[in-house]
Amino acid sequence: MRLETMRYTERFGSVRINDVQKVIELDSGRKEDTPAGEIIGVKKIDDEVVRGIEHRMAIVIPTRDEKLKLFEGVISGVPHDCLIIVVSNSQINRVDRFKMEADTLAQFCHFSQREALILHQKDPVIAEALGQAGYSDLLGEDELIRDGKSEGMMVGWLMAKLAKKDYVGFIDADNYFPGAVWEYAKCYAAGFSMATSPYAMVRILWRYKPKISGGIYFKKWGRASEVTNKCLNSLISSKTGFESEIIKTGNAGEHAMSMRLAEILPYASDFAVEPYELVSIFEGFGGVLPTANQTAAKHGIEIFQIETRNPHLHEEKGVQHVREVLLPGLSAIYYSPICEPETKKMIKDELVVQRVLKTNEKPPKPHLCLLPKKVAIKKFIELMGEHLAAYSATGEAE
């Protein structure tokens, strides 16, 4: 893989936000062909380096009643060296779609000779372990894990931790192109290979997100993304005193974190999850509030934004309107203790323009999951350790 090098980095306290780096070449060939002096501005990342990171990375695929054909395509695109972790919230009762997913995954793992984990979001064993470990924010009134993609993601990375992985990446199950899935994983690995801090995050910017209506139109920006990015940038600008456009991946569903970063971040529910990751990093390490974690602050938090070569073509659900995506994310920014009046006003104005709020109405408070403390993770790992094999896709112990 060949990428643009880091050309510009914006610093916000101990957070280093790298400007977008485009993928230049999907497959940059053999190691021996690496030129001694690469052109300034371009970075070739050798296969061995990428695979080394993939080997230490889990790809979490949250899914809920997704078309099996799409699910099957997505898992086939995940590079072999990554551990696949499927967190499914699909129906079990009327039609056991979870079983279909498990069967599909098991068949794929059998033929590709790889391991994978699959679990249901309503698994009582995991819920109990979470409860005992103090993650009660993840649980609903029925003592099971709440619905929601972000809860699934959270369980996903905890399972990745259990499987002793150092990185965790998220990829949606509704992608039409296995080749795009493959590229996401490669971008994650490429990003981590460039990181100088063990606290790193890679966020994907799609080159295009084609809209289908009659023909195909290669749209670059969605309305929700534009607004979310603007508000996040306002949050930074107001603190640094320099207007910034650095954040271009505020809503990036496709993103990855080093485990050490995942361990110290609180989570938000719903569509707030992706923007809130940034908000919580700014809160904890932007230098405005007390530092959330001294070790991490010392290393710095590194954020990479990588633009893929493949467009992003996925299942159009038709129900996720701009408003549904927009509100939770903007609320998470709005209620941040570092959000100053100017950005608050921008958020309210945008929500009024988008007809999500009435004038003088305030956004609803987002649901946040407590900061998981190291001790809690340890407890979860301890409780779940003996059960890991039960979640193997092939039914074989690791």
Which one, 131 or 178, has the nearer CB to a copy of itself? 178
Q: Cβ 258 to a copy of itself, closest distance in Å?
A: 21
Strand partners, 199: 301
In the bound state with a copy of itself, the residue whose beta carbon lies nearer, of 177 and 373, is: 177
- Closest CB 6 distance from a copy of itself, rounded Å: 15
Which CB, 26 or 388, lies closer to a copy of itself? 26
Two structure tokens written together for 143: 């003592």
Looking at the Cβ atoms of 113 and 294, the one nearer to a copy of itself is 113
CB 276 within 8 A of CB 366: yes
In the DSSP assignment, the letter for residue 139 is B
Site residues for a copy of itself per CB under 8 A: 2, 23-30, 33, 35, 38-39, 41-42, 44, 47, 51, 54-55, 69, 73, 76-81, 108, 110-114, 176-180, 182-183, 210, 212-216, 218, 309-311, 313, 316
Spell out the alpha helix ranges (H) of the chain: 47-55, 68-77, 97-112, 124-133, 149-162, 178-194, 223-240, 259-262, 273-285, 294-299, 322-334, 341-353, 374-384
Q: Which amino acid belongs to residue 369?
A: C
What length does the chain have? 398
Cβ 310 to a copy of itself shortest distance, Å:
5
Nearer to a copy of itself, 5 or 136 (CB): 5
Q: Find the shortest distance in angstroms from Cβ 69 to a copy of itself.
A: 7
> By the 8 A CB rule, do 27 and 1 touch?
yes
CB of 389 to a copy of itself, least distance (A): 20
- d(CA 38, CA 41) in angstroms, rounded, equals 8
Minimal distance, residue 76 CB to a copy of itself, in Å = 5
CA 367 to chain centre: 18
Shortest CB 304 distance to a copy of itself, Å: 19
Closest CA relative to residue 150, chosen from 271, 296, 304? 271
Give the SS3 label for residue 391.
helix
Backbone angles phi, psi at 240, to 5 degrees: -85, -20
Helix axes 273-285, 322-334, angle to 10 degrees: 20
In the bound state with a copy of itself, the residue whose beta carbon lies nearer, of 145 and 393, is 393
